[in-house]
Structure 1
């Protein structure tokens, strides 16, 4: 039994498991994409964001 056949039997054979797999993968993709882009934004703007410079302006 090959990989494609195993994936088909476990996920794509029933509509309910395929829908669950789609929802779960969308959730994990969204969370991962959010974390990666947030870290990239903070790295590019390091030293320019309020949380990095607030000690200069607050008493």
Structure 2
């Protein structure tokens, strides 16, 4: 059996299953995208963020 037939039977046949896959996929995509974005932002701005310079201003 082909891959498309297996996916079609498992995911696309029922609307409730398809909706669950969409919601789950969007949740995991959002979390992954946020983690990657924060990581890139922090690497570009290393040394300029509050967490990097906080020790200079605290007593």
TM-score, reference length from structure 1: 0.97
Query: What RMSD, in angstroms, separates the aligned Cα atoms of the two structures?
Result: 0.4
Runs of 4+ residues deviating >4 angstroms: none
Gaps of 5+ in 2: none
Aligned to 2:57: 57
Gaps of 5+ in 1: none
TM-score, reference length from structure 2: 0.97
